[in-house]
Every structure is written in C-alpha cells, then in structure tokens.
Structure 1
Amino acid sequence: MEKRWVISQEAPAETVEQLAEQLKVSTTLTSILCQRGVCTYDEAKHFFRPSLQDLHDPFLMKDMDRAVDRLNEALHRNEKILVYGDYDVDGTTSVALMYGFLRNYTSNIDFYIPDRYKEGYGVSQQGMDWAAEQKVTLIISLDCGIKSADKVAYAASLGIDFIICDHHLPDDDVPQAVAVLDPKRVDCPYPYKELSGCGVGFKLLQAFCMQNDIDQSEALKFLDLLVVSIAADIVPITGENRILAYQGLQHLNGPQAMRPGLDALKDLADLKGEMDITSIVFGFAPRINAAGRMGDAKNSVRMLLAQTKEEAHRMAGIINESNKERRSKDTNITKEALQMIQEDDFLKSANSTVLFNENWHKGVIGIVASRCIEHYYRPTIILTQSNGMASGSARSVHGFNVHNAIESCSDLLEQFGGHMYAAGLTLPVANVQAFRERFEQVVAETITPEQKIPQISIDAPLQLRQITRNFYNIIRQMEPFGPGNMRPVFVSEGVMDAGNAKIVGDTHLKLRLTQDGFTYIDAIGFGLADHFDAISSGRPFDVCYTIEENIYRGIINLQLHLKDIRTK
C-alpha cells in the first residue's frame, strides 16, 4: 500500500542551535524536542526528568473540595460506597485504583462494572437499581458519568449521591451530582486537560490524602494501574500524563514486587525484560479488555485487586481464555469482512466500508474495523445485530472526521456517539442499506485525496553515520513514547543494500544498509518483502525508520525498524 511521507516542519534555527549548545547534543535532536514543545533549557530539564513534584494541585480541579468533603462524610458515617466504572482498560484500572485505596479505610464498599451487552456504556438504570437494593448512598463513577445526567438524577431519586470522575467531553447538560470532576468541563480551571479516567480518580486520591494528612505514598502505590490506563486509553503522553506514565513505569519496573495481577498477566503474555508503553498496549491491554468484550469485566478488576499470587494467576487465566476467544473471533470475522469487500466490485472501489452481518460478535467489531483499514485505507463501519437493532463501530483514517460523517446520516440512526477517529452507532436493520449509501455519498464528497493514503510522520532527515550509541541513548531518554511524544521517525536518502538482503517469514525483509560507501547498519522491515527485487538491483533508495536495539545471542546492536521504502 502506498504511503505519504510527511516531514515535520523545522523549528526556528536560532532556537534549535541555542538549545543544542545548552544541552550539548546535536541540532537534529533539539529540532525534534522543539517540535514537541520543548524549546528551552528549563523545559528540557522537566522533560528529561519527569518529577512528581511537578504534578498540579488536585484542588485546582473544579468540585474537588466538594468531592473530598462528601467522601469524608461517607467514611465518617460508614455509608455504603459503590465504585462504578466502565468495562474497558481505563474503566477497570480506575475501579481497581479507587476500590483498592478506599478498602483501607472502610469495609462498607463494593464495585460495579456494567454488562457491555445488557447495559451498554456508562451509568445504567439497572446499575442504579442494583445499588439501591444494596443500600448504597454514594457512588463514585470513573471513566463514565459525564453524559449520564438522567441516570444521576434517577439515582438521586433513590437517595444515592454521585461523585463523577470522568475525562470525556461533557454535554451542555452537566449532571447534577455532588461533584463532577472532569478537566474538560469548560468551567474547570485545571491546567492539564488530557488525564485518563483513571488519572482523574488518582487526583481524587491525592486530594483525599492532602485533606486528611495521609502520606502521598498511599496514593502513589497505584501508579502502576495509572500507567496501564494511560497507555491503553491512547491519551497524550505529555505534561502531567508524561510524569504519571514515567513514574508508573518506574513503579512497574522497580525493585518492589509487581502487583500480583499484573505479574500474572506479564507471565501469560510472555513479556520479557522491562515494561514500556508498547508492552502495556500489546501485552496487557488486549487481555484486560477481553474480559469485557467476551465475558465479565469484573474479572479484570478482581485480577488487578488480587492480593495473592494464586488468586492473581487464577483470574489472569480466566482473562487469558477470554482473550484467546477474542482473537479467534477477531481473526475469523476479519477474514469474512475482507472477503465481502473482495467479492463486491462496488465495495472494492468505494470511498468507505460499511459491512453488516447479524452473526458477528459485537465485542470485536471495533477491532475488525481497524483491521479492515489496514487493507482498505478508508473510513470503515462494521455492524452486527444486537437486541433487534444493527449496532456498530466506526474507525477512521488520518484527518477524516468519521463522527461528523455519521452525524450527516443521523435521520437514519437510533443513536450515535464518539469522536473524530472512532464512534459507535445503532440503527434499525431495515435502514442499513440506506445508511451505507448515504455514508458513502458523504465520505465521497468530503474526503480528500491525501486522506485516502496512509501517512507516515517523519521527524527529521538523518545520515546513517549520525546513528551512534550516544545518539540512541538520548532518544531513549525521551521515553515514554506515545501520542504527543511518538518515537522519532527518521528518513535517510540514497542508501543501498550491502548485499545481505533476504526475505524472512515470507513477508518481512532483513537487510544491511550502507550510505556513502562506508556506514553499515542492520535493518528489518516487517511486511516489506515486496521491495526485495528493487533494493537488490544495486540502485539507491530511501528509507524511513525508527532506531531500536536488537539483542542476538547476548550481543546488543543498533538496528533500524523500517516503516517504508521508496525506490528510485
């Protein structure tokens, strides 16, 4: 598949050179820093040394004082407290964080995760009825609640108060809760707006400790759960999130024993060495998510809260089985979806993909939509039947607002919601064909030619001779990588194959690159075997890549991880 290479705009030369002189590093590196908003020596110091001392005062968040006061009151009166969260990774880590902390101060506490299929996303009436039956008088909702004004009002009618900890964009109608903690509220002065749901919950713990003269270390014990939420929820790893993610990784990889649930998960995922954002995203997150996709998300919380190795491994085993089932359904449904496209001339050449099969599993259709985009790069919606309706997940391509496109078809829908790159929707089965035609028309009229081609964002050009151990070590210090601070991608032009190129695993390319006839470095290109003949011809070509370490038989060498190849 053809890809667009987009090189980032260079920062002002004077700023780049001044910072390079102050930090004693190359202008290539300071140019990348400046592109990420790190342009002064002081900013660089905070960037390279993320400190808990730089976290914001939690009481800057609107309603935080009210939240702490109501929580204190509930604890003093021994009221029944319910910790309520979403069924994804952010929601389940949030519940484990809040419940795990508060159970040290009360035994009159429980947690609740709604059933993905029977109750759907967010605060449910069924959940409120259950809470009333359990004599709950205070609910702390995490990663949900900001769009549940009606359910919060219903809970109030049952004598239940709410503290909402959320990070999603609120509607105009903010719930009438005792406290609504959400940095994205337009009236919230909190300086950092991109916290995860678990991050908002953590700020409540911080504030509670401050108000009650409890050592902050009691809240910091949960940084391991917080970094899992930050990585899995794809929030920007900038500002306060960078500090929390960095310190959370230090906690995960520190000398103290890992939380039993995460340790068991690490074993099952066969993760070796230190954890980083990538290993969390691909090792932890799919397994934690699978519990809610295929079965009961409460199992994820039970695993994260497990206090013994035996209990943790038992729960992790249940979750891992859910993940195996998820992977099987994901693979089979993706195969069916791609076959539907390949066998339909209209779908093969369309500007969008909308597929419906009443038998597809609702828990994996979002994943399938993303898989389809890997083959047919365009806005994609996968629909299945649920409770008599067509229910689906949408995924988009770089720069295209799929939520707006769906909104243009709102008269055909029962409900929808989401954001620019991902959305959910429900519509009558009878409207599926009309929706498919309308959505295709909207996309065709609004998508640009550039948005139909996958984009690779490149940070800077680089000569192979510049790739040294010292250069790589400074890049490593820019971790943790993620949205807002992605692993730097470089481009080198006019490189050649040193004669070692070979195809491995049918689709991958392993080679040794040379530039200017003397610099040599190994490279691996996953899925790039189609370029073998062209690069073996002896002609120069261009590559874009990230730099990584490769460990072979105990020997560590630098290696290029190729993103794409352009032949002359």
Structure 2
Amino acid sequence: MRWNLKPQPSPEKINHLTDALGIDKVVASLLVQRGVETYEQARSFFRPSLNDLHDPYLMKDMDKAVARIESAIINNENILVFGDYDVDGTTAVSLVSSYLKSFYPNVDTYIPDRYKEGYGVSFAGIDYADDNGCTLIIALDCGIKSIDKVAYANEKGIDFIICDHHRPGDELPAAIAVLDPKREDCYYPYDELCGCGVGFKLIQALGKRRGQTINDLIPYLDLVATAIAADIVPITGENRVLAKFGLDVINSNPRPGIKALIQNLKRQVLTISDVVFVIAPRINAAGRIKHGNYAVELLTEFNLEQAEGFAAQIEVLNADRKDLDKQITQEALMQIEANNDHDKFTTVVFHENWHKGVIGIVASRLTETYYRPTLVFTKSGDKLAASARSVKDFDIYNALEACADHLEQFGGHMYAAGLTLLEDQYPHFREKFEAVVSETIDPALLIPEISIDAEITLADITPKFHRLLKQFEPFGPGNMTPVFLSRNLKDTGFGKPIGSDESHLRLYVRQGESEGFAAIGFGLASKMDLACGGDFFDAAYSIDENLWNSEVSLQLRLRDIRCEE
C-alpha cells in the first residue's frame, strides 16, 4: 500500500476557518481540503438545504422535454418510461413513472433484458412501445449514444426524450430533447448527477409547471439517494443535498419497497454505506439474475404486504448472485494464475459460460486482488461481452476508446465500463488493451493507495471531535470518510486474529500515556506479527462507532499498519 499524506492547506486558511467556526485546526483542515474555506461555505456544507438545488430549466433542452410531456398528456398519448437494468436505471424508471402516474394514467415502463437485449435502448424496447401504441419514450440512464435506435423510433412515429449522464459521442441522437449535463453545450451548474438525478430534475421541472414546490417531491428522494450511492458518483454539490435528504427519507418514511428491504436490519440510522452494501446489491440482483422488472415492481409498489413479497423474491435472487459471484471469482483467479497473467499491466479473463449478470462484481473483486485495470468477458449471443473496472486515477473509458477499432460497442465512466466485441477480435483487443494501458498508466497507480487526510494523535480523538466528523456525512467520492495517520502506536497485549477464518485483526492500542482505543483491521491478520511483536508501529485508520452490549464506543477502523519510520 502507498501511504499518501495529502498536502496540508495553508495556515492562513485553516486559522481563518478555525476562528470563524470555533473549531479545532484538524477539523478546519479537513474542511479546506474539501473546498470549504468560508463561513458561508461551511454553513452550506454542514446544513445542506433543498433551496441549494439548481433551477432544472438551466439544463439544456429541459424546456423542450417538459413541453413534449405536457403535449403527450393533453393529447392522451401513451408514454413509455425506459431505463437500464442496474440500480441507477431501475430507480430512475421507478421515480419518473410513479411521478407521472400520480396524475396521468397512460404510463408504462420497460427495462431491457440484460441477456437478450443488453445495455441501453434496444430495438425490442422500441418495438414494444410501437406494439402498445406509445408515441413518446422517456429514456433514463441510457440513450446518449443510441443514434440508430432513436432514428428507428422516429421512423415509427415515436419521439424520444433522453435523460442520461454518460459522456456523449461526437453526435447526439435525433431526440426531441437530450438532457445530459455532460453535453458540451449544456451549462447546467452541476454535471455529476446520476441517471436518476437527471430524472429527478425532469420531475422537478414538471412539478414547477404544475405549481409544486421542492417539498412536494421529497418522497421521491429515497430513490435518488439510492442511485447516488450505488452509482458511485461524487457526493458533492447537488448530489450531496439530494443524498442527505434522501437518506432522511430512507430513515424516516421510505417507500414500501425500500422499507421491505431494510426492515430486518439492526441499525438505528442507515448511512450511505448501508445503501451501498445492503439496499443496492439487492436491487441490482434482480437485473443480474432474473430481470430488472422485479426491481421496478418492488420500488413502485405502495402496498407494504405486496412489497414484502417482492422483497422476499429479490432476497432469493441476491443469494443466487452471491453464490455465482464467489464461484466465478475463484475460477477467474485460477485462470490468471494458470496463465501467469498477474505480471501484466492489465487483467483480462474470459469464459463463455460465466454468468453475464455478475461479471461486473467479479471484475471489482479481481481489481481488489491484483489492482490492475480489469476486464471480465463472457459469451453473449454471437458476441463477447465484458465489464471493465479501473484503479484509482486511471481512466479506463479512454483506454477502451483507444481500442475502439476492435469493439462493437462500449460505454461507461472513468472507473467502470461495459463493452461488446466479435469473438475473433478478442485476442487482438486483449493485446491492444495491454499495450494502451502499459503505455499510458503511471506504474505507481498499480500499487493501491491510502489517501490520508491528516496526522493526529490518539489524544485528539474525543467525543466532540467525532461528533463534528459525523456532520461531514454523507460520505462518498469527493467527500470520503476522513483517514488519519498516528505514529508510535503499541498494542497493549490483547491483539489477536478474529473472524471465522481468522483473517481480521483486533488490537487495543495506546500512544504514550494517552487513552487506549480498540482497533479492527479487516483482512489485516497478516500484520499480526508486526502489530503484536512489541514494537512501535504507525497506523492509517478512520474512526467509527462500535456497538457492543448496547454500549457505543469509538474505535479505529484500520486501513493499514507499518513499522515506524
């Protein structure tokens, strides 16, 4: 692990914020690192307000989108709400369709089949719209590159409104409106919305025309927060506001579908991490194993008993997903070792029988193991399909773009993407991908990095300090959980490996004469000798709460430990 202590802000900025807010210098430093330098910025950071949301009509083509939907309602047209099969897509479809249905009945939904249709707008979906008399399709979390599909729909007399957040190509589809804050000609103040976030801006604009205020739309924010967490978009700016108030809805009055997913959790308050690791995988499991329609049914059901039935079905699908994930990951690791591929700059594996629904998860697992830009391929019809995952600070989308001659289709983000290619192109693509990455990546990026916010002493960790840190929530990209460095620590003699496989490390550490802290290091049992040999060591860690026998105490969540330097 590379330990990278972030450059500390200037003393002047820290002192200014310390005086303005009456906080200690460590907290002030953390704020400045996050771009918070004034009292007003700090107030917005600590007290996000729905009034901070931007006017949706600042988004390019929003007026056209609203006008077309209003026209469809006046003319009693059938509207099809179309979206991808992942969490962002299914929450977006659930949000927009349930909002429209609250005042207009002629609304249908469509989620493409992952295996028969693949990602994004499909010809089959357009045919479904045509067969059912739909003359307007609202595409969410997809469509920005669907030039041929939109042209096909136009030939059938079907209009498109595209709500996407992926990077556009050189040409935009011939839709009535293309809502995408990443359009070069769109000057919307915030361009990191997820697909569901763009969908929310659409209903915000529709609501504004109908005399609604933002408070009328709060019940929809549980869906937006779920999508923000699952899609790993930055939790900054507008996303921070939407995530904060969405979490409030999840914790106070979630829709029945989300309530059914979380009602057995033993948590007092759910955080973004709970959404990422509990809610999102279950919603995703529907599209991965069976069909994304299961997720939409769950998220749009307003009878709790019915929602509990849908949630039970999804729980079974999630259990199947876990089994497949474990099996395929093991097979992929064996393939890498057998081919002696772990010395390359990339990890690329393929098996024609791997389940397409879990290759993205497997790619993430392999990236954690070998820390390389990673592609996991499987057979999909007469083509090969892959999920791509990257390492910190390396843009895998750009790498795929450099290999476009070998690809049929690709799309995605800096850190995650999907692609298809013809089987005879696989060896050529694999060779080209390795060459592109080896020529463009900084070798240092192939060593996992721990980004450390500040060096502190254990004496700095007080209940007041932790209360202030909790006000930094919700955490996520752009506002990660603070990581600290403390030096010259020593285990007091109670250190031991824990867990069913004894892969985790439990310590009780002191620094000089300061109060000791319990510390837990998941996956760090290999550091047992270093930590428990009686020598001093340094630790990188975050601070969290441990609930034991109804008592809450602070503990260190170890990220890594190393010998004192």
TM-score category (smaller protein): over 0.9
SS of residue in 2 equivalent to 1:6: strand
Displacement of 1:448 in angstroms is 2.7
Displacement of 1:523 in angstroms is 0.6
Correspondence list, 1:118-157, <5 A: 118-157=116-155
Choose from 374, 390, 393 the match for 1:380. Answer: 374
Task: Give the Cα separation in 2 of the matches to 1:412 and 1:73.
Answer: 43
Match of 2:282 in 1: 287
Q: Percent identity?
A: 52
Distance 1:216 1:534, change over 3 A: closer
Displacement of 1:307 in angstroms is 1.2
Displacement of 1:426 in angstroms is 2.2
Match of 2:551 in 1: 555
Task: Give the Cα separation in 2 of the matches to 1:71 and 1:496.
Answer: 65
Give 5+ residue unaligned stretches, structure 2: none
Correspondence list, 1:11-410, <5 A: 11-254=9-252, 256=253, 258-267=254-263, 270-344=265-339, 346-410=340-404
Task: Give the Cα separation in 2 of the matches to 1:389 and 1:250.
Answer: 44
The 8 Å contact of residues 282 and 318 in structure 2, kept in 1 or not, is answered as yes
Moved >4 Å (runs of 4+): none
Choose from 529, 536, 542 the match for 2:538. Answer: 542
Task: Give the Cα separation in 2 of the matches to 1:233 and 1:160.
Answer: 30
Task: Give the Cα separation in 1 of the matches to 2:410 and 2:198.
Answer: 25
Q: Deviations over 1:504-563 (max 9, x none)?
A: 111111111111233311111111111111222211100000000111111111000000
Distance 1:244 1:99, change over 3 A: same
Distance 1:314 1:405, change over 3 A: same
Match of 1:476 in 2: 470
Task: Give the Cα separation in 2 of the matches to 1:261 and 1:529.
Answer: 39
Deviates more, 1:374-383 or 1:436-445: 436-445
The one-letter code of the counterpart of 1:322 is: L
2:428 pairs with 1:428: no
The 8 Å contact of residues 166 and 412 in structure 2, kept in 1 or not, is answered as no
Displacement of 1:450 in angstroms is 0.8
SS of residue in 1 equivalent to 2:559: strand
Q: Deviations over 1:347-382 (max 9, x none)?
A: 132222211111111111111111112221212211
The one-letter code of the counterpart of 2:522 is: F
Deviates more, 1:188-197 or 1:394-403: 394-403
The 8 Å contact of residues 137 and 158 in structure 2, kept in 1 or not, is answered as yes
Task: Give the Cα separation in 2 of the matches to 1:68 and 1:407.
Answer: 34
Displacement of 1:271 in angstroms is 5.0
Q: Deviations over 1:187-209 (max 9, x none)?
A: 11211111111111111111112
Displacement of 1:291 in angstroms is 0.7
Q: Deviations over 1:261-291 (max 9, x none)?
A: 00111136x3522111000000011110111
Distance 1:261 1:75, change over 3 A: same
SS of residue in 1 equivalent to 2:516: strand
Task: Give the Cα separation in 2 of the matches to 1:15 and 1:409.
Answer: 45
The one-letter code of the counterpart of 1:164 is: I
Distance 1:271 1:73, change over 3 A: farther
Distance 1:380 1:252, change over 3 A: same
Task: Give the Cα separation in 2 of the matches to 1:84 and 1:272.
Answer: 34
SS of residue in 2 equivalent to 1:492: strand
Match of 2:444 in 1: 450
The 8 Å contact of residues 89 and 285 in structure 1, kept in 2 or not, is answered as yes
Query: What is the number of equivalent residue pairs in this alignment?
Result: 562
Task: Give the Cα separation in 2 of the matches to 1:250 and 1:391.
Answer: 38
The one-letter code of the counterpart of 1:351 is: F
Distance 1:412 1:141, change over 3 A: closer
Deviates more, 1:259-268 or 1:48-57: 259-268
Distance 1:437 1:299, change over 3 A: same
Task: Give the Cα separation in 2 of the matches to 1:277 and 1:312.
Answer: 22
Choose from 427, 435, 458 the match for 1:464. Answer: 458
Q: Deviations over 1:147-193 (max 9, x none)?
A: 11222222122111222211111122112222221111111121111
The 8 Å contact of residues 166 and 413 in structure 2, kept in 1 or not, is answered as no
Distance 1:212 1:410, change over 3 A: closer
The 8 Å contact of residues 75 and 105 in structure 1, kept in 2 or not, is answered as no
* TM-score (norm. length: structure 1): 0.96
Displacement of 1:215 in angstroms is 4.2
Task: Give the Cα separation in 2 of the matches to 1:538 and 1:482.
Answer: 36
SS of residue in 2 equivalent to 1:311: helix
SS of residue in 2 equivalent to 1:69: helix
Task: Give the Cα separation in 1 of the matches to 2:79 and 2:365.
Answer: 41
Q: Deviations over 1:215-257 (max 9, x none)?
A: 4433222011111111111111001111111111111112x4x
Question: Alignment RMSD, CA only?
Answer: 1.5
Match of 1:528 in 2: 524
Task: Give the Cα separation in 2 of the matches to 1:80 and 1:439.
Answer: 45
Choose from 402, 410, 416 the match for 1:416. Answer: 410
Task: Give the Cα separation in 1 of the matches to 2:90 and 2:67.
Answer: 25
SS of residue in 1 equivalent to 2:263: helix
Q: Deviations over 1:92-121 (max 9, x none)?
A: 111111111111111111111111111111
The one-letter code of the counterpart of 1:94 is: A
The one-letter code of the counterpart of 2:263 is: D
Q: Deviations over 1:301-355 (max 9, x none)?
A: 00001111121011111211111111111100001111112233x3132222211
Task: Give the Cα separation in 2 of the matches to 1:413 and 1:459.
Answer: 40
The one-letter code of the counterpart of 2:47 is: R
Task: Give the Cα separation in 1 of the matches to 2:163 and 2:342.
Answer: 44
Displacement of 1:423 in angstroms is 2.3
Choose from 508, 512, 524 the match for 2:508. Answer: 512
Displacement of 1:46 in angstroms is 0.5
Task: Give the Cα separation in 1 of the matches to 2:399 and 2:63.
Answer: 40
The one-letter code of the counterpart of 2:158 is: I
Distance 1:354 1:216, change over 3 A: closer
Deviates more, 1:296-305 or 1:156-165: 156-165
The 8 Å contact of residues 271 and 283 in structure 1, kept in 2 or not, is answered as no
Displacement of 1:431 in angstroms is 3.4
